[in-house]
Protein backbone atom coordinates (compact mmCIF):
# COMPACT_ATOMS: atom_id res chain seq x y z
CA UNK A 1 0.00 0.00 0.00
CA UNK A 2 1.36 3.43 -0.97
CA UNK A 3 1.76 5.79 1.93
CA UNK A 4 0.01 9.10 1.17
CA UNK A 5 2.59 11.01 3.19
CA UNK A 6 5.40 9.50 1.07
CA UNK A 7 3.65 10.58 -2.13
CA UNK A 8 3.14 14.06 -0.71
CA UNK A 9 6.80 14.29 0.26
CA UNK A 10 7.89 13.23 -3.24
CA UNK A 11 5.70 15.89 -4.82
CA UNK A 12 7.10 18.45 -2.39
CA UNK A 13 10.69 17.52 -3.31
CA UNK A 14 9.92 17.82 -7.03
CA UNK A 15 8.19 21.14 -6.44
CA UNK A 16 11.17 22.50 -4.51
CA UNK A 17 13.58 21.44 -7.24
CA UNK A 18 11.39 23.13 -9.82
CA UNK A 19 11.27 26.36 -7.86
CA UNK A 20 14.95 26.33 -7.02
CA UNK A 21 16.51 26.66 -3.58
CA UNK A 22 19.23 28.37 -1.59
CA UNK A 23 21.77 26.32 0.33
CA UNK A 24 23.76 28.09 3.02
CA UNK A 25 27.17 26.48 3.27
CA UNK A 26 29.72 26.63 6.06
CA UNK A 27 32.92 26.73 4.02
CA UNK A 28 35.16 26.16 7.01
CA UNK A 29 38.05 28.32 8.21
CA UNK A 30 40.06 28.30 4.98
CA UNK A 31 41.55 24.91 4.18
CA UNK A 32 39.45 23.52 1.28
CA UNK A 33 39.89 20.01 2.68
CA UNK A 34 37.85 21.05 5.72
CA UNK A 35 34.72 21.34 3.57
CA UNK A 36 32.12 18.71 4.37
CA UNK A 37 31.35 16.25 1.57
CA UNK A 38 27.83 17.66 1.35
CA UNK A 39 29.07 21.23 1.00
CA UNK A 40 31.57 20.15 -1.66
CA UNK A 41 28.79 18.47 -3.66
CA UNK A 42 26.52 21.51 -3.53
CA UNK A 43 29.34 23.82 -4.64
CA UNK A 44 29.95 21.55 -7.65
CA UNK A 45 26.25 21.48 -8.54
CA UNK A 46 25.30 25.12 -7.90
CA UNK A 47 24.14 27.33 -10.75
CA UNK A 48 24.79 30.49 -8.72
CA UNK A 49 27.36 30.99 -5.96
CA UNK A 50 27.40 33.93 -3.56
CA UNK A 51 30.45 33.93 -1.33
CA UNK A 52 31.98 36.20 1.27
CA UNK A 53 35.01 37.19 -0.78
CA UNK A 54 36.75 39.03 2.04
CA UNK A 55 36.89 35.85 4.13
CA UNK A 56 36.28 32.68 2.12
CA UNK A 57 39.30 31.04 0.51
CA UNK A 58 38.70 31.11 -3.30
CA UNK A 59 40.08 27.56 -3.44
CA UNK A 60 36.86 26.43 -1.76
CA UNK A 61 35.02 27.29 -5.00
CA UNK A 62 37.58 25.71 -7.31
CA UNK A 63 35.27 22.86 -8.40
CA UNK A 64 32.30 25.02 -9.40
CA UNK A 65 30.50 24.44 -12.69
CA UNK A 66 32.06 26.22 -15.66
CA UNK A 67 28.86 28.11 -16.40
CA UNK A 68 28.07 28.97 -12.77
CA UNK A 69 27.42 32.61 -12.00
CA UNK A 70 29.55 33.87 -9.10
CA UNK A 71 28.92 36.89 -6.86
CA UNK A 72 31.22 38.34 -4.20
CA UNK A 73 28.99 39.44 -1.32
CA UNK A 74 31.73 41.68 0.06
CA UNK A 75 30.55 44.20 -2.54
CA UNK A 76 26.81 43.67 -1.95
CA UNK A 77 24.21 44.69 0.60
CA UNK A 78 21.44 42.43 1.92
CA UNK A 79 18.84 43.60 -0.59
CA UNK A 80 21.20 42.90 -3.49
CA UNK A 81 22.06 39.44 -2.16
CA UNK A 82 18.40 38.51 -1.72
CA UNK A 83 17.55 39.88 -5.17
CA UNK A 84 20.08 37.50 -6.73
CA UNK A 85 18.67 34.60 -4.70
CA UNK A 86 15.09 35.41 -5.62
CA UNK A 87 15.79 35.77 -9.32
CA UNK A 88 17.80 32.54 -9.51
CA UNK A 89 15.39 30.40 -7.50
CA UNK A 90 12.42 31.68 -9.51
CA UNK A 91 14.17 30.14 -12.54
CA UNK A 92 14.55 26.82 -10.75
CA UNK A 93 18.27 27.29 -10.11
CA UNK A 94 20.38 26.09 -7.21
CA UNK A 95 22.03 28.88 -5.23
CA UNK A 96 24.99 28.19 -2.93
CA UNK A 97 25.42 30.92 -0.32
CA UNK A 98 28.95 30.27 0.89
CA UNK A 99 29.91 31.56 4.34
CA UNK A 100 33.23 31.31 6.12
CA UNK A 101 33.49 28.90 9.07
CA UNK A 102 30.04 27.90 10.26
CA UNK A 103 27.22 30.24 9.20
CA UNK A 104 25.55 30.10 12.61
CA UNK A 105 28.40 32.02 14.30
CA UNK A 106 28.61 35.69 13.26
CA UNK A 107 27.41 34.74 9.80
CA UNK A 108 24.57 37.28 9.34
CA UNK A 109 22.47 34.19 8.70
CA UNK A 110 19.23 35.11 10.48
CA UNK A 111 18.50 38.16 8.37
CA UNK A 112 18.94 36.23 5.12
CA UNK A 113 16.72 33.40 6.32
CA UNK A 114 14.04 35.87 7.31
CA UNK A 115 14.12 37.48 3.88
CA UNK A 116 13.80 34.08 2.19
CA UNK A 117 10.93 33.05 4.45
CA UNK A 118 9.10 36.27 3.62
CA UNK A 119 9.41 35.37 -0.06
CA UNK A 120 8.58 31.67 0.37
CA UNK A 121 11.98 30.67 -1.00
CA UNK A 122 13.15 27.21 0.04
CA UNK A 123 16.51 27.02 1.78
CA UNK A 124 18.64 24.68 3.83
CA UNK A 125 21.80 25.00 5.92
CA UNK A 126 24.97 22.91 5.81
CA UNK A 127 27.10 23.37 8.93
CA UNK A 128 30.82 23.99 8.63
CA UNK A 129 34.01 23.83 10.66
CA UNK A 130 34.27 27.05 12.66
CA UNK A 131 37.55 28.95 12.82
CA UNK A 132 37.17 28.45 16.56
CA UNK A 133 37.94 24.75 16.17
CA UNK A 134 40.65 25.32 13.59
CA UNK A 135 42.29 27.74 16.03
CA UNK A 136 42.06 25.19 18.85
CA UNK A 137 43.72 22.62 16.58
CA UNK A 138 46.43 25.13 15.65
CA UNK A 139 47.40 25.61 19.30
CA UNK A 140 46.91 21.89 20.02
CA UNK A 141 44.49 22.58 22.86
CA UNK A 142 41.49 20.82 24.33
CA UNK A 143 39.23 23.72 25.26
CA UNK A 144 37.35 21.68 27.87
CA UNK A 145 40.11 20.18 29.97
CA UNK A 146 39.00 18.12 33.00
CA UNK A 147 39.13 20.01 36.31
CA UNK A 148 40.28 23.16 34.47
CA UNK A 149 37.38 24.35 32.33
CA UNK A 150 34.24 22.59 31.17
CA UNK A 151 32.72 25.68 29.57
CA UNK A 152 33.55 27.54 26.36
CA UNK A 153 32.29 31.10 25.94
CA UNK A 154 32.03 32.37 22.36
CA UNK A 155 31.78 36.13 22.15
CA UNK A 156 33.03 39.33 20.54
CA UNK A 157 33.73 42.84 21.80
CA UNK A 158 31.25 45.61 21.15
CA UNK A 159 32.06 47.53 18.00
CA UNK A 160 29.94 48.95 15.21
CA UNK A 161 27.59 46.07 16.01
CA UNK A 162 26.38 46.73 19.58
CA UNK A 163 25.88 44.03 22.21
CA UNK A 164 24.02 43.89 25.52
CA UNK A 165 26.00 45.25 28.49
CA UNK A 166 25.35 41.99 30.36
CA UNK A 167 27.36 40.22 27.63
CA UNK A 168 30.38 42.51 27.88
CA UNK A 169 33.70 40.72 28.06
CA UNK A 170 34.37 42.00 31.57
CA UNK A 171 31.18 40.33 32.86
CA UNK A 172 31.74 37.10 30.96
CA UNK A 173 35.28 37.01 32.33
CA UNK A 174 33.88 36.48 35.83
CA UNK A 175 33.45 32.80 34.97
CA UNK A 176 37.14 32.36 34.13
CA UNK A 177 36.05 29.72 31.62
CA UNK A 178 37.75 29.15 28.28
CA UNK A 179 36.86 32.16 26.16
CA UNK A 180 36.98 32.43 22.36
CA UNK A 181 36.79 36.00 21.13
CA UNK A 182 35.94 36.74 17.52
CA UNK A 183 36.47 40.07 15.76
CA UNK A 184 38.50 41.49 18.62
CA UNK A 185 42.14 41.51 17.60
CA UNK A 186 41.95 45.05 16.18
CA UNK A 187 41.04 46.25 19.69
CA UNK A 188 43.06 43.72 21.65
CA UNK A 189 44.29 46.26 24.19
CA UNK A 190 40.70 47.04 25.23
CA UNK A 191 39.79 43.34 25.22
CA UNK A 192 42.73 42.47 27.48
CA UNK A 193 41.89 45.25 29.92
CA UNK A 194 38.41 43.79 30.34
CA UNK A 195 39.71 40.24 30.69
CA UNK A 196 42.20 41.30 33.35
CA UNK A 197 39.37 42.39 35.64
CA UNK A 198 38.80 38.72 36.51
CA UNK A 199 41.46 36.51 34.92
CA UNK A 200 44.94 36.45 36.55
CA UNK A 201 47.73 38.17 34.63
CA UNK A 202 49.46 34.85 33.99
CA UNK A 203 46.39 33.41 32.20
CA UNK A 204 47.49 31.92 28.84
CA UNK A 205 46.34 33.61 25.65
CA UNK A 206 46.73 32.56 22.03
CA UNK A 207 45.95 34.66 18.97
CA UNK A 208 45.51 32.65 15.78
CA UNK A 209 45.52 34.46 12.45
CA UNK A 210 43.96 32.77 9.40
CA UNK A 211 43.58 29.40 11.10
CA UNK A 212 44.12 26.47 8.70
CA UNK A 213 45.37 28.71 5.84
CA UNK A 214 48.87 28.13 4.43
CA UNK A 215 50.00 31.39 6.07
CA UNK A 216 48.45 30.59 9.45
CA UNK A 217 50.15 32.45 12.31
CA UNK A 218 49.99 31.78 16.06
CA UNK A 219 51.08 34.23 18.75
CA UNK A 220 51.15 32.97 22.33
CA UNK A 221 51.51 34.81 25.59
CA UNK A 222 49.65 35.76 28.74
CA UNK A 223 47.31 38.59 29.62
CA UNK A 224 50.42 40.41 30.78
CA UNK A 225 52.26 40.44 27.45
CA UNK A 226 49.93 39.38 24.64
CA UNK A 227 49.13 42.93 23.51
CA UNK A 228 52.78 43.70 22.89
CA UNK A 229 53.37 40.39 21.11
CA UNK A 230 50.38 40.83 18.81
CA UNK A 231 51.45 44.38 17.96
CA UNK A 232 54.98 43.16 17.20
CA UNK A 233 53.53 40.47 14.91
CA UNK A 234 51.47 43.12 13.11
CA UNK A 235 48.21 41.17 13.42
CA UNK A 236 45.23 43.49 13.00
CA UNK A 237 42.41 41.34 11.59
CA UNK A 238 41.26 37.82 10.59
CA UNK A 239 42.36 36.40 13.93
CA UNK A 240 40.73 34.67 16.88
CA UNK A 241 41.67 35.21 20.53
CA UNK A 242 41.67 32.16 22.81
CA UNK A 243 41.91 32.72 26.58
CA UNK A 244 42.00 30.42 29.58
CA UNK A 245 43.90 27.89 31.65
CA UNK A 246 42.92 25.17 29.17
CA UNK A 247 45.73 26.55 27.00
CA UNK A 248 48.38 26.05 29.67
CA UNK A 249 51.21 23.51 29.57
CA UNK A 250 50.39 22.23 33.05
CA UNK A 251 50.16 18.49 33.53
CA UNK A 252 46.80 17.23 32.30
CA UNK A 253 44.35 15.59 34.69
CA UNK A 254 43.06 12.48 32.86
CA UNK A 255 39.35 12.37 32.10
CA UNK A 256 37.19 9.81 33.87
CA UNK A 257 36.12 8.31 30.54
CA UNK A 258 39.33 6.34 29.93
CA UNK A 259 40.41 5.64 33.49
CA UNK A 260 40.80 1.90 34.08
CA UNK A 261 38.54 1.92 37.13
CA UNK A 262 35.74 3.97 35.57
CA UNK A 263 32.88 1.78 34.39
CA UNK A 264 30.10 2.69 31.95
CA UNK A 265 27.66 0.88 29.68
CA UNK A 266 30.41 -0.17 27.25
CA UNK A 267 33.09 -1.15 29.76
CA UNK A 268 33.02 -2.84 33.16
CA UNK A 269 35.47 -1.76 35.87
124 contacts 23 by C-beta, under 8 angstroms: yes
What residues does 70 pair with on adjacent strands? 49
Split at pLDDT 50, 70, 90, the class of 54 is confident
- Among residues of the chain, what percentage have pLDDT more than 90? 78
pLDDT at 240: 97
Domain boundaries, the chain: 11-129, 132-247
106 contacts 183 by C-beta, under 8 angstroms: yes
Nearest-angstrom CA–CA distance, 135 and 158: 22
Nearest to 85 by CA among 41, 129, 115, 55: 115
Half-sphere exposure for 130 (CA within 13 Å, toward CB): 14
pLDDT tens per residue across span 113-169: 999 999 999 999 999 999 999 999 999 999 999 889 999 999 999 877 778 888 899
> Reduced to 3 states, what is the DSSP secondary structure of residue 223?
coil
What would be the CATH architecture of the domain defined by 132-247? 2-Layer Sandwich (3.30)
pLDDT at 160: 76
Task: Kindly report the CATH number that applies to the domain delimited by 11-129.
Answer: 3.40.1010.10
Q: Does residue 39 carry a pLDDT above 60?
A: yes
Q: Does residue 51 carry a pLDDT above 50?
A: yes
pLDDT at 228: 97
Question: Residues 70-94: what's their mean pLDDT?
Answer: 96
In DSSP notation, 45-82 reads H-SEEEE-TTTS-GGGGTT--TT-EEEEGGG--HHHHH
pLDDT at 249: 84
Same fold, 11-129 and 132-247: no
Amino acid sequence: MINSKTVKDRHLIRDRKKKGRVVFIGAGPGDPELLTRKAYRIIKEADVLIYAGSLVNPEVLAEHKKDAEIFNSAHMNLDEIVEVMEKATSQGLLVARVHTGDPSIYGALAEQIQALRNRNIHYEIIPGVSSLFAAAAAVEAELTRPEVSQTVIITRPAGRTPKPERESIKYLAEHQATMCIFLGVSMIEKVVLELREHYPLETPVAVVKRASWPDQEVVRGTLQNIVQRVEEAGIQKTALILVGEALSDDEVVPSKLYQAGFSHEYRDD
